[in-house]
Chain A
């Protein structure tokens, strides 16, 4: 089963609010993950400017030599992106499922301040379950 290396959630201003790293070799420290998230936020916005046609909503899939990056932007502007092995299937549905978990366990949490880093245990638990390979395959049905 193809692997998911990491998951990032960025708020509408481009700040990193959640970062989960499941990889082994390519680990980044906190500062680097913050920089990478802001850089992605800007690249996403610039890609909309370069579109030859109207109505571009930003990069959805970036394919590199050793990984693929899938990005999902919700209506309020929160971006969820996942770094995975090239060719991993069902990443779009996984991202939408993670968005559902986010709305259920984070946004509906009365102690959670919007746009702040996510510290919700239930969200973490459900997320870990979701990224297990058999669950990802189920999401793709």
Chain B
């Protein structure tokens, strides 16, 4: 239920409704926790150094997924807390909001996790995250020089991503 229900392979981008930049930062992790991409547009507070920050973010998401799978009030048969879940297994969250930011999360069947941290009043970004995954497939996966499991170094991907994220309201 969390994976792409639609029949489109490359969904069209959302119509930009406002100018300006609401995104603070973005992370892309693979299934082993390697941070493939970290982009920052507007981050005022850096609590930890980058490596610790990535690890903490990955750890938070891993534990939150474990928590939501266990807390699921609808499915009767759940694993024990702390058992690593396969992508797509168990109930997963798609966003959380604090008073200062909103974090939107998407996990693909291959274990790629895309995280976008934005302004707290942002709406549902699931379609935007699917579009970003589409960009990842086009510019990174289909790039013959790209080394899977290592950080992404594609200029085209960075430019397209930057352009798209700046257009999200």
Chain A residues within 8 Å of B, Cβ to Cβ: 5-6, 23, 25-26, 28, 32, 35-36, 39-40, 42-43, 46-67, 69, 83
**Cβ of A51 and Cβ of B100 under 8 Å apart?**
yes
A26: B residues at CB distance < 8 A: 71-76, 78
Partner of A53, one of B45, B92, B93, B95: B45
Q: How far is the CB of B73 from chain A (nearest CB, A)?
A: 4
Q: How far is the CB of A99 from chain B (nearest CB, A)?
A: 17
Partner of A47, one of B25, B93, B98: B98
5 additional A-B residue pairs with CB within 8 Å, beyond A50-B47, A50-B60, A65-B94: A39-B81, A46-B56, A63-B97, A67-B72, A67-B73
A49–B1 Cα distance when bound, in Å, is 30
Q: How far is the CB of B41 from chain A (nearest CB, A)?
A: 9
Report which residue of A23, A63, A69 has the largest number of chain B beta carbons within 10 angstroms of its beta carbon.
A63
- Given A46-B56, A53-B24, A54-B44, verify A25-B75 contact (CB < 8 Å): yes
A75–B46 Cα distance when bound, in Å, is 25
A67–B64 Cα distance when bound, in Å, is 13
Report which residue of A23, A26, A55, A57 has the largest number of chain B beta carbons within 10 angstroms of its beta carbon.
A26
Q: How far is the CB of B106 from chain A (nearest CB, A)?
A: 12
Residue of B nearest to A22 (CB): B73
